[in-house]
Amino acid sequence: MADQHESIALRSPPVDPSAAVGHSWFPGQPPPIYSCTLTPELVAKAREELQEKPEWRLRDVQALRDMILKEHPNLRTRLDDAFLLRFLRARKFDYDRALQLLLNYHAGRKAWPEVFQDLKPSTVKHVLDLGFLTVLPQPDPNGRYILCLRPGKWKSNDYPFVDNVRAIYLTLEKLIQPEETQVNGIVILADYTGVGMSQASNPGPFLAKKVVSILQDGFPIRIKAVNIINEPRIFKGIFAIIKPFLKEKMAERYILHGSDLRSLHRNIPRLVLPEEYGGTAGQLDMCAWSRLLLDCEEEFIVEFCQPDPLEGVVLPDSMLFEGEQGSGQDDDSFRGLRSQLYYCY
């Protein structure tokens, strides 16, 4: 049995010290042997908000590891402390919910091969070059990094929409590495300048459901707020596609600012925002995050360009993306929602 476990437990990707050169604004990859990097303030925050007790931390990790090996012995997943801690923190150290999140994480990769096959930064360079997304260099006063999305930069004839999802997922994978992000969470800033009918109607409800399922139930990250700015009239139709799949708590975290930058500044202070959004942190740099991801190419090859982690694994009935074959209902829903979009536009 021990040999079997050794064969299925993927190790943490090796650390390349040179990968951090030139990216001092973002924490480097954690070492292969876990050592807590949280400040005393973050340790206290994790205790209060996540029920994380430092004296029990490794015991809790071992408990989750034992559950994986006992209940899903064929699952090819990383079992190192740092990796499993992401899932425990995302589910406030509830072992059962953390295990379900881990299974969802791998199930999402199996259910959506268009996104996860050969997933590495070089395959989404065209998305990064277009300026579809970036991460602002300064976290907000609560220590949360800000993922900036600009969907209006993408046109439906540029490339498939799933390439945007691939770029977002790689970004989230990098963002979740530092322990401070695992505790603090992230903030999303979505600028809808330039979004028209072609962008709004392209994903459709089925694709929207998959994206929301991954972010909400299949990835170990805490999204603390989604700030929407410069949204057009058709955003009501866009949100109508997304909202049915959002949990109430997540739906409440969507904040619509329109073109009112003062409203945005009440949620994200000017000192961390670029000049384009009324901030004082210089001009928006779309290249720094792109360079960081591309410099981590080998790291992502180790993480994602491997055999299917769920090959031979029997999953529970209540898994992510259930009912995929019943797409007819989604198509009907999409036709109705497309009518809403035209009406709003």
Q: Which residue has the higher pLDDT, 99 or 23?
A: 99
Q: Is the pLDDT assigned to residue 332 strictly greater than 50?
A: no
| φ, ψ of residue 310 in degrees (nearest 5) | -105, 10
pLDDT at 327 over 60: no
Cα-Cα-Cα-Cα dihedral sign, residues 255, 108, 27, 290: negative
Q: At 134, which helix (H) or strand (E)?
A: strand 133-135
Cα 183 from chain centroid (whole Å): 14
Domain made up of 115-303: CATH architecture: 3-Layer(aba) Sandwich (3.40)
Q: Give the per-residue pLDDT at 146.
A: 98
Question: Domain 40-111 carries which CATH code?
Answer: 1.10.8.20
Confidence at residue 101, expressed as pLDDT on a 0 to 100 scale: 96
Query: Could you give phi then psi for residue 113, rounded to 5 degrees?
Result: -60, -25
Give the start-to-end residue ranges of the domains of the chain: 40-111, 115-303
Q: What is the DSSP string of 80-121?
A: -HHHHHHHHHHTTT-HHHHHHHHHHHHHHHHH-HHHHTT--G
- Residue 199: the pLDDT is 65
Distance (Å, whole) CA 255 – CA 231: 11
* End-to-end Cα spacing for the chain: 61
Residue 240 has which token pair? Answer: 């109508």
Rounded Cα gap, residues 107 and 194, in angstroms: 34
- Among 210-214, 244-248, 256-260, 290-294, the minimum mean pLDDT is found in 210-214
Per-residue tokens: 247 = 């949990």
Residue 73 pLDDT exceeds 50: yes
Average pLDDT over residues 286-296: 95
pLDDT at 126 (0 to 100):
97
Mean pLDDT of 289-314: 78
Q: Which of 40-49, 72-81, 167-176 has the lowest mean pLDDT?
A: 72-81
Q: What is the pLDDT of residues 211-231, one digit of tens each?
A: 888 888 999 999 999 999 998
